[in-house]
Amino acid sequence: MAAESPGVKPPPDRLYGRIKGKKLRPRQEWLLAEFLPRVSWPQVPFGIAVRETWLEVGFGGGEHAYALAAANPDVGLIAAEVFENGICSLLSRLAPEGEEPQIPANLRLFTDDARPLLRSMADASLGKLFLMFPDPWPKARHAKRRFVHPELLAEVARVLKQGGEWRIASDDPTYQAWTDEVLAAQTLFTVTRATTRPDGWPPTRYEAKAIAAGRQPVYWSLLRR
């Protein structure tokens, strides 16, 4: 069991992780200033009528979002990330230097806190939500910063349609115990738990690092009842 109770205060909409990392190169400055506005959600709507809308929270380098969007061309994926270097990684996948930039019809970037975005969404408007290796905040006093939280669970349940899926992965033992504890205390979702990545879940960069360092990821699939 987690050392701290899920009954901690609700999570504030404040970002604690890093937003800026290494100094940006001129190409990255260009991507943010000139290319990002062409793929930004909600300013640029999807280029097709999508079958469903999905949301990824904290896409990191963007490999998971890119793979999902490519494998599901009839779904609209909103990929949210706040860390500039991560945002540039996904942008440079879409606009490799020296090549014609591609604007996928079904992938848009949201470059701010995903929690207010989630709150702004209509009831039952999302088909899937992805939370791959969220920042673990392992100290008990930082538990309210974790995305998996009883209050946010209710919000995700509101926004997901019935039968919709919330995928969570974590390699951090404290976050794993915390997630198990939060999920055991709820009745909104039917939960499946695995220790090998389920079929159809694209890998992520963070996951590869965790496995290389000998950490065991856990993968939860939550189906909205």
Ligand X SMILES: C[S@@+](CC[C@H](N)C(=O)[O-])C[C@H]1O[C@@H](n2cnc3c(N)ncnc32)[C@H](O)[C@@H]1O
Which of 74, 113, 135, 171 is labelled catalytic? 135
Q: Which of 31, 50, 55, 57 binds ligand X (CB under 6 A)?
A: 57
What ranges make up the beta strands (E) of 35-183?
52-57, 75-80, 107-110, 126-132, 160-170
Are the beta carbons of 79 and 104 closer than 8 angstroms?
no
**How far from chain centre, in Å, is Cα 96?**
23
x/- letters, 106..145, toward ligand X (CB under 6 A): -------xxx----------------xxxx----------
Residues across the chain = 225
Question: How many C-beta atoms surround the C-beta of residue 112 within 10 A?
Answer: 14
Considering only 158, 197, 205, 215, the residue that binds ligand X (CB under 6 A) is 205
**Which residue number places its CB atom closest to ligand X?**
58
The window from 3-11, 35-43, 160-168, 203-211 that contacts ligand X (CB under 6 A) reads: 203-211
Q: Which is nearer to ligand X, 91 or 114 (CB)?
A: 114
In the residue annotation, 113 being an active-site residue is answered as: no
Does the footprint of ligand X cover residue 86 (CB under 6 A)? yes
Binding mask 5-34 for ligand X (x = CB under 6 A): ----------x-x-----------------
Angle (CA) 50 36 93, round 5°: 80
Residue with smaller CB distance to ligand X, 47 or 91: 91
For residue 131, the minimal CB distance to ligand X (Å) is: 8
- The encoded tokens of residue 51 equal 């079958």
Give 181's contacts (C-beta < 8 A, 6+ positions apart): 1, 2, 6
Q: How far apart are CA 205 and CA 211, in angstroms?
A: 10
The residues annotated with a catalytic role in the active site are 135
Binding site for ligand X (CB under 6 A): 15, 17, 57-60, 80-83, 86, 113-115, 132-135, 204-207
